[in-house]
Amino acid sequence: MDYLGPLDIMRMLQSGDIPYDAVWPASSIWLTLGDTNRVLDHSQTTSISPVVFGIKQSLAEELGFVGTDVYIADIIEAIENDQLNFAMTSATQSNSGASAYIGFLTVIAGKEEGLTSEDLTDEAVREQITTLLSGVNRSSGSSNWLVDLFLSGGYDAMVNYETLIIQTNLELEKNNQETLYMVYPVDGLSLSDSPLAYVDHDNDDMEALFLELQNYLLSDEAQNEIEKTGKRSAYGTIRPENEKVFRSEWGMDTERVLAAIRWPQADVIMEALSLYQSQFKKPALTMYVLDFSGSMHGDGYDQMIAALEEVLIPENAAENLLLGTSEDLTYLIPFGSGVLDVESEKGNAEELYTDAKSYELSGSTYMYEGIIEALERLALDNESELDKYNPAVVVLTDGMPNGDKDFLDLERFYKDYAYDIPVFSIMFGSASDDELSKIANLTRARVFDGRENLIEAFQQVKGYN
């Protein structure tokens, strides 16, 4: 089994080059969007988990969300009143984020029969979805990593699968911390249906094996085990013996019928996802701290420039649903034996790609100087408006840092800085995994491995801001 994001599965299906016997995304929508070549068969839902808000119990009570129906309008009002912000996965990188986002849009547009392209041009719809997404205070490319982020502390709410909020609450309980109350927006609920589908390679023996696996997963025995993990059965039900997993004090009602939104047509979904990335989501403020030391000569430099081409040139970024908003701020902070000239652009960052190609490779690896420079500029240039952005520092290096500053200098600066700014790293060449992991742990971020596919690593990290 290989793990891929929903858009990766969709694109693989569209390409027709599918080196697998089955696909198992989080939602059927990715099969609908991807199976343009009609190669899938025997698609069956294997479990169901709604996408919900998990809000700290005390805050949910303060907002009046406990024991009552909550509507998307109530969520928007709480955001407008600065009473609620939340962590959520990227709608263009993760199924939970995409599902929640399409649900929000459908309700805001008032379209029970499904969202249309015309709805996406409505100024009132655009204004409200932008307001709702302004409540996102941390973004993630992965639903599971969002749980890890939340458990690191300092957050009041997140949007995620019901099953993952159950797991979060179990960990919070174990650590004697306040648990989350689950809010199921009655007018905008999205469901993950975990479909398992066969890829028809005209192999009868393989098809028989697939059906044997699928029949087992849908058997009473397997469905019972699935429910114990906090997922509902393939039919949305829960056996009496498993109801203890779905606790009422966490806002869970196993008797309530889950009425999900109607998904729009495939072309509308893709248009909505593109608008999320380029217009509706909170703008990104990205500091690329890039290694231009002498060790980058050859493949390292070529790969880095190719990766920047994919994220900084608009048509390439748009193709992979990575195109930013007109309000995005992007910085290049190159380093060698010290920090080189820093460049920045608002909106279209194509000129930064040209700038990147103009830097010369030389000197040592003053990585920590580059990271501290990025954080200092965030504080000096944007401190008063930082809440308007999803800020992140992205470090790329192929070697060991050997400048005058070290991790302890960064740690002291970061703790004095007192802002929740993640410092993500993309590792390749002989970069130190231990060193980069320490930075990620300090700043509640991740390390991405770019040694096999640096372009893919750049694309992944953009899902986190």
pLDDT of residue 384: 63
CA atoms within 13 A on the CB side of 162: 32
On whether both 74 and 202 belong to a single domain, the answer is no
pLDDT tens for each residue of 220-263: 999 999 999 999 999 999 999 999 999 999 999 888 888 788 89
On whether both 15 and 55 belong to a single domain, the answer is no
Mean pLDDT over residues 193-210, rounded? 97
Q: Is residue 253 part of a domain?
A: no
Q: What is the secondary structure of 157-218 as a DSSP string?
A: EEEEEHHHHHHHHHHHHHTT-PPEEEE--TTSBEEE--EEEEE--S-HHHHHHHHHHHHHHT
On whether both 381 and 315 belong to a single domain, the answer is yes
Q: Which amino acid is at 258?
A: L
Are the C-beta atoms of residues 113 and 263 closer than 8 Å to each other? no
Residue 95 has pLDDT above 70, yes or no: yes
Mean pLDDT over residues 40-47, rounded? 97
Mean pLDDT over residues 404-428, rounded? 91
pLDDT of residue 116: 95
| Cα 397 versus chain centre, distance | 23
SS3 (DSSP) at 54: strand
pLDDT of residue 408: 96
pLDDT tens for each residue of 351-386: 999 999 999 999 999 999 999 999 999 877 666 678
pLDDT of residue 356: 92
On whether both 408 and 309 belong to a single domain, the answer is yes
pLDDT of residue 318: 83
pLDDT of residue 33: 92
What 56-61 contacts at long range (C-beta under 8 Å, 24+ apart), as own/partner pairs, is 56/156, 56/157, 56/178, 56/179, 56/180, 56/181, 57/178, 57/179, 57/180, 57/181, 58/178, 59/83, 59/84, 59/156, 59/157, 60/181, 60/183, 60/251, 61/181
pLDDT of residue 413: 93
Q: Is residue 410 part of a domain?
A: yes
- DSSP class of residue 48 equals B
On whether both 67 and 155 belong to a single domain, the answer is yes
Mean pLDDT over residues 116-144, rounded? 95
On whether both 78 and 175 belong to a single domain, the answer is yes
Supply the range of the domain harboring residue 112: 49-191+260-275
Residues of the chain with pLDDT > 70, as a percent, come to: 99
Confidence band for 78, pLDDT divided at 50, 70 and 90: very high
Burial of 424 (0-12, 13-18, 19+ CB in 10 A): buried
Q: Is residue 97 part of a domain?
A: yes
Q: Is residue 255 part of a domain?
A: no
On whether both 309 and 422 belong to a single domain, the answer is yes
Please say whether the dihedral angle defined by the alpha carbons of residues 301, 305, 306 and 307, taken in this order, is positive or negative.
positive
How far is residue 295's CA from residue 398's CA, in Å, rounded to a whole number? 7
On whether both 346 and 224 belong to a single domain, the answer is no
On whether both 303 and 447 belong to a single domain, the answer is yes
Mean pLDDT over residues 145-169, rounded? 96
Task: Report pTM.
Answer: 0.91
Are the C-beta atoms of residues 101 and 272 closer than 8 Å to each other? yes
How many residues does this entry show for the chain?
465
Nearest Cα neighbor of 169 from 103, 77, 247 is: 247
Nearest Cα neighbor of 435 from 373, 378, 367 is: 367
Confidence band for 334, pLDDT divided at 50, 70 and 90: very high
Q: Is residue 1 part of a domain?
A: no
Are the C-beta atoms of residues 146 and 161 closer than 8 Å to each other? no
- DSSP class of residue 44 equals E
Residue 463 has pLDDT above 90, yes or no: no
Backbone conformation region of residue 54, classed left if phi is above 0, alpha if psi is from -120 to 50, else beta: beta
CB neighbour list of residue 326: distance below 8 Å, 6 or more residues apart: 279, 346, 347, 348
Q: Which amino acid is at 374?
A: A
Mean pLDDT of the chain: 92
On whether both 106 and 29 belong to a single domain, the answer is no
CATH number at residue 14: 3.40.190.10
CB neighbour list of residue 145: distance below 8 Å, 6 or more residues apart: 446
Q: Is residue 163 part of a domain?
A: yes
Residue 113 has pLDDT above 70, yes or no: yes
Mean pLDDT over residues 292-312, rounded? 88
pLDDT of residue 155: 94
On whether both 27 and 138 belong to a single domain, the answer is no
How far is residue 274's CA from residue 280's CA, in Å, rounded to a whole number? 9
pLDDT of residue 464: 83
> 255 or 393, which is more confident?
393
pLDDT of residue 381: 63
Phi, psi for 198 (deg, rounded to 5): -90, 135
Q: How many domains does the chain have?
A: 3
CATH number at residue 406: 3.40.50.410
Phi, psi for 40 (deg, rounded to 5): -95, 150
Nearest Cα neighbor of 382 from 287, 288, 314, 462 is: 287
Mean pLDDT over residues 189-205, rounded? 95
Residue 84 has pLDDT above 70, yes or no: yes
pLDDT of residue 383: 62
Question: Encoding tokens for residue 52?
Answer: 């919900």
pLDDT tens for each residue of 29-38: 999 999 999 9
On whether both 207 and 72 belong to a single domain, the answer is no
Q: Is residue 248 part of a domain?
A: no
Q: Is residue 59 part of a domain?
A: yes
